Amino acid sequence: MAAPLTLALGAVAAPAQASPQAPATTTEAPAPGVPAFDFAKECPPLPAGIDPTLGLCMQMVVTGGSMKLGGLSQNITEPMRIIVQSVQRDASSDSEFTSVTLAGKPMTIPGGVLGLLGLNVPGLDGLPFNKVQVQPKYTGGFTFSLPNAGLEMKIKVINDAVGKGCSIGSRKDPVKLNLGVDFDQVSVVDEGDPADSFNHPPILHTPAADNAFAVPKTDGCGLFGPVIDWKAGLPSASGNNAASFDTYLALAPYAPWPSAAVQRKAKQDPIQQLRELRITG
């Protein structure tokens, strides 16, 4: 069971606010290479009746890295943004996930179909029927209890010949990542404002990796499924796959905590707060 968010972050609950919606925010330009975080725009509204001080929004943006799925390797060329909302029904209850989303633009596989067949011809990546793209899709499993974060996904395969439902893995049989975080590599990019963290959240740089997950075979690819499985070596057992994510993370409650809690939080560095955060589904 997850520990209460207020305890995990060193906060004390305040009386319920009038509105459960996210407050307005002013987004400052991020430092070069650091993704922007606009909590008011991107965090979902809280469920009705939830005290905003007991609701947490956490955003993780994977800006680089790579994934090896069997014989298929792909650099992260488009950011992946994971947005998690977690709430407590009251100050003494456990935290619950109410929303998890994963968004990212399709990433083009170098060489396309010909590249997968070992016939990589420069300049043909974008041709119809040769172009192949992959796109991560969340399938419904997430945990966050550092030094590990669990994320379940399927990898949508986009090509003119395979149709719209083709993917590596599926909702019933997903790719299950258990990403490990080395705290020695975590750094504080922006300490944020403890008194108004929704408008100015702390931002951390948190590289994460997993090389022990298995990869299932394709799903919904029709006659092309066995061909993709053969060329990519799917299913692929644990030990033959790897994921390395260059990640930025920001988190904040939907409303400021009471002054006493803010003072305690201000004495605690953001990395220590991250160590103590425990949220599970």
What is residue 83's predicted lDDT score, i.e. its pLDDT?
96
What is residue 100's predicted lDDT score, i.e. its pLDDT?
94
Q: Is the pLDDT of residue 146 over 90?
A: no
pTM over 0.75: yes
Q: Is the pLDDT of residue 263 over 70?
A: no
Residue 138 binned pLDDT confidence (cut-offs 50, 70, 90):
very high
Q: Is the pLDDT of residue 26 over 80?
A: no
Question: Would you list the DSSP string of 93-155?
Answer: SPPEEEEEEEEE--EEPTTHHHHHTT---TT-TTSTTT--EEEEEEEEEEEEETTEEEEEEEE
Q: Is the pLDDT of residue 197 over 50?
A: yes
Report the pLDDT averaged over residues 127-143. 87
Cα separation, 177 vs 88, whole angstroms: 26
Q: Is the pLDDT of residue 258 over 70?
A: no
Q: Where are the domains of the chain?
A: 5-10+54-276
**Other Cβ atoms closer than 10 A to 92:** 10
Q: Is the pLDDT of residue 122 over 70?
A: no
Please write the tens of the pLDDT for every residue from 43-58.
Answer: 999 988 888 888 989 9
What is residue 220's predicted lDDT score, i.e. its pLDDT?
96
Report the pLDDT averaged over residues 255-264. 59
